[in-house]
Structure 1
Amino acid sequence: MRERHFSLPGRGPGTCHRVLTLSFGDPDARPHVHVQGGLHADEGPGMMAARQLADRLAEVEAAGGMRGHVTVVPFANPLGLGQVLHGDHSGRFDLYDGRNFNRDYPDLTEDAASALAGRLTDDAATNVALIRAALRTVLAARCPVGPAEALRHHLMGQALGADVVLDLHCDGEAEMHLYTQPAAWDRLAPLAALTGCRAVLLAEVSGGHPFDEALSGPWTALAARFPDCPVPMGCASTTVELRGRSDVCRDLGARDAGAILDYLTHLGVIAGAVDLPPPSCRPTPLAGSEALVAPAAGLLSYVAPLGATVAAGDPIAEITDLESGAVLPVRATTSGVFYARPATRIAEAGKRLGKIAGERPFRDGPLLSP
């Protein structure tokens, strides 16, 4: 195991933050899988899984079991880890400007396409190497200003050369689920089966430029830009939602780390073999995911349990009006798996109350939560 530390400046004079990357196996070996936890710094399950994964990988490496290369960032957002307001941790949005830490990553496609014009070949492997080099060069030419942009720049640089990237998150309360691009699904389907995902949400572009799409998006875009040259999916990247915020314990972390280790074995990163379980769901379009919205303010309670398969018209939640005592039902308008909901039980008008993975696309524009 090799440790690398990256220091980035804080907002004020005399302040700084540090990001740790742990590396296992030959840095030049393939496949290379990059795993990070805690980009939203108030989401503990991913950090627990990443930390325990690193401990397990150290044992595998010491036993001579590494065949590929794995990099692990156990806590990807020290800026957010330091944001504690009146005793509550606030790690999803930068308190300086309100921006989501998992949005606004740079799109390297246009600059990379300009650098690659006339250079791609008839050989897919050669093209993968050329594209990776072009993406690195384009990123290196950017000059981030401020700690949040420096963090985005560093995290992209750590993951840019990987074949597979796992960005570990969680929801308020949720079943296991993941987000990825359609072109990456075949490579990530075994991970969904091994982790027991109840929902898989696919979108070519989900909106907001999140971390995972900044890494995988250029490959699909460049394949479309250069149709006469073979351009494989050089980076399959996904956001993995490890249940809910309160699901932080060493037993769950060990289970998640074990599932990722099995996936690494399936990919050939670790020596051995693994039997894949049957999938727990089939993928559905992110544009078909219904975001339930509170029509009024009040106390929130749920009728449908997480993980339930619901039909359009089924009651999902109830809002109790505190003045009149009236109970207002909130019903599904699509059919699918009820896979996520907030951890709070007080609703304001317009609050998102849950998500249902439906098979029929009906939304456009930005598809992710703010």
Structure 2
Amino acid sequence: MSFELHRTVLTGDTPGTATDLYWYTAGPADAETRVHLQAALHADEQPGTMALHHLLPKLREADAAGQLKAQFTIFPSVNPLGLANYSLRHHIGRYDVETGVNYNRRWPDLYPHIAQDIAGKLTDDPKANIATIRAAVAAWIDSQQPGTAIQRLRLAVLKSAVAADIVLDLHCDDDSLKHIFTSPELMPCLQDLADWMGVAATLTAEDSGGGSFDEVLPSLYRKARLANPDHPIPSGAETATLEYRGRADSFDAIGQEDAAGLYGFFASRGLIAADPGRKPTAAPAPTPFEATEVLRADAPGLLAYRVELGDRVSKGQPIADLIAMDGPEAFVARRPILSGTDGFVLSRVMGKYVVRGGAIAKIVGKDILPARAGGYLLED
């Protein structure tokens, strides 16, 4: 058996403090394929952790039966530092309270750090080129001298991810249907993942503007490919962010369903020698993230939604009413907030008091929105 629990101690940034990062490995260490799974990078998003809680016993049983054909590395709660960000009975697990930086932003642009190291080492062998790039990144990580606990955590996680062929980062939205974020060049190869998840949408972007974790490796291989056109450099990792509904959706039954979907995906890929189960219904084809409207409030107020998740809407249709909380008609006046595109409602916010500029919904359309093209695509 190779199913094993590991513990990494992250020395704290203040006297006498340290944090434990727990993670698992399963499957043969010499397997040709490596899988990296992590959940709760935003530490206040628990549905992914619940899914991995139910997936781990399945992997342990498959490992004991000799059915694992890949090596799995699993971080069920990859950000223990964020678990400690608790203030006034509220968990602030999305942001580093010291710097204010979103834990899933500003991950490093790797290619500039290794461009010189791989110069002259690339060949006509695609697999060898991937190995060269991975070795260069691993060496760069090992050369770093992290100054803070979060820097140490990021480097440890990144070292695992860069060695993997499949990298899945499990998140959730606020109140949402299941969906995926990934890079356009990884589709349609990841369509089977979308099918097994049963997502409502797969949203693609080369660069969403925030330096998200799931974009680090696709960007690395894309930039290496563009800089070295005479050498074959495929995408070295299938990487995606999996959004498992909303933050309140951490329940056993849902977690079991999500774990079964992940298990079926891996089994259908031949990474677990087991029956994947019934073939899932095909999920919608991917759409550019630039075609999704992030609808924002243009004033503070109290939201009264007119639509449910999954509802199809038309451009100009009221999505919600905004009830005034100040001014001459405070708490009496209300006015509609209108959709700016045709599509369906993918997500809403749980907190109905909103400030000016606050995101209140995502509406997935098919046509790229001029205001979104080439801009910052994320909500924060």
Match of 2:229 among 227, 251, 273: 227
Secondary structure of the 2:190 match is helix
The 5 A counterparts of 1:3-14 are 3-14=5-16
State the TM-score, normalizing by the size of structure 1. Answer: 0.97
Match of 1:161 among 160, 163, 171: 163
**1:102–1:210: 8 Å Cα contact kept in structure 2?**
yes
CA deviations on 1:264-322 (whole Å, 9 max, x unpaired) are 11222101354542323221111121111112222112111111222211211111124
Matched, 1:334 2:337: no
Deviation, structure 1 residue 187: 2.9
CA deviations on 1:40-90 (whole Å, 9 max, x unpaired) are 000010111122211211011112211111111011111110111111111
- Alpha-carbon separation, structure 2, partners of 1:354 and 1:334: 12
Which position in structure 1 is the counterpart of 2:198? Answer: 196
**1:290–1:334: 8 Å Cα contact kept in structure 2?**
yes
Which position in structure 1 is the counterpart of 2:20? Answer: 18
Question: Unaligned stretches of 5+ in structure 2?
Answer: none
Alignment size in residue pairs: 370
Which position in structure 1 is the counterpart of 2:128? Answer: 126
Matched, 1:317 2:317: no
The 5 A counterparts of 1:248-327 are 248-274=250-276, 276-322=279-325, 323-327=330-334
Deviation, structure 1 residue 333: 0.8
- Alpha-carbon separation, structure 1, partners of 2:188 and 2:274: 21
Matched, 1:347 2:357: no
**2:198–2:281: 8 Å Cα contact kept in structure 1?**
no
Deviation, structure 1 residue 113: 2.0
Code of the residue aligned with 1:354 in structure 2: it is A
- Hey, which bits of structure 1, 4+ residues long, moved more than 4 A? none
Which position in structure 1 is the counterpart of 2:208? Answer: 206
Which position in structure 1 is the counterpart of 2:33? Answer: 31
CA deviations on 1:304-360 (whole Å, 9 max, x unpaired) are 111122221121111112415122111111112210111111122221111112222
- Alpha-carbon separation, structure 2, partners of 1:155 and 1:199: 27
Deviation, structure 1 residue 128: 1.6
State the TM-score, normalizing by the size of structure 2. Answer: 0.94
Q: Which moved more, 1:45-54 or 1:265-274?
A: 265-274
**2:41–2:78: 8 Å Cα contact kept in structure 1?**
yes
- Alpha-carbon separation, structure 2, partners of 1:31 and 1:307: 36
Match of 1:367 among 353, 358, 377: 377
Deviation, structure 1 residue 222: 0.9
**2:34–2:166: 8 Å Cα contact kept in structure 1?**
yes
Matched, 1:147 2:157: no
**1:190–1:276: 8 Å Cα contact kept in structure 2?**
no
- Alpha-carbon separation, structure 2, partners of 1:133 and 1:352: 41
Code of the residue aligned with 1:244 in structure 2: it is G
Secondary structure of the 1:291 match is strand
**1:183–1:220: 8 Å Cα contact kept in structure 2?**
no
Match of 2:71 among 69, 72, 75: 69
Deviation, structure 1 residue 216: 2.4
Match of 1:79 among 74, 78, 81: 81
Which position in structure 1 is the counterpart of 2:217? Answer: 215
- Alpha-carbon separation, structure 2, partners of 1:336 and 1:30: 41
RMSD: 1.3
Secondary structure of the 1:153 match is helix
**2:299–2:357: 8 Å Cα contact kept in structure 1?**
yes
**2:320–2:337: 8 Å Cα contact kept in structure 1?**
yes
- Alpha-carbon separation, structure 1, partners of 2:283 and 2:304: 27
Secondary structure of the 1:187 match is coil
CA deviations on 1:189-243 (whole Å, 9 max, x unpaired) are 1111111111111001111211111122201111111111111111111111000
- Alpha-carbon separation, structure 2, partners of 1:9 and 1:301: 46
**1:46–1:242: 8 Å Cα contact kept in structure 2?**
yes
- Alpha-carbon separation, structure 2, partners of 1:118 and 1:82: 46
Secondary structure of the 2:187 match is helix
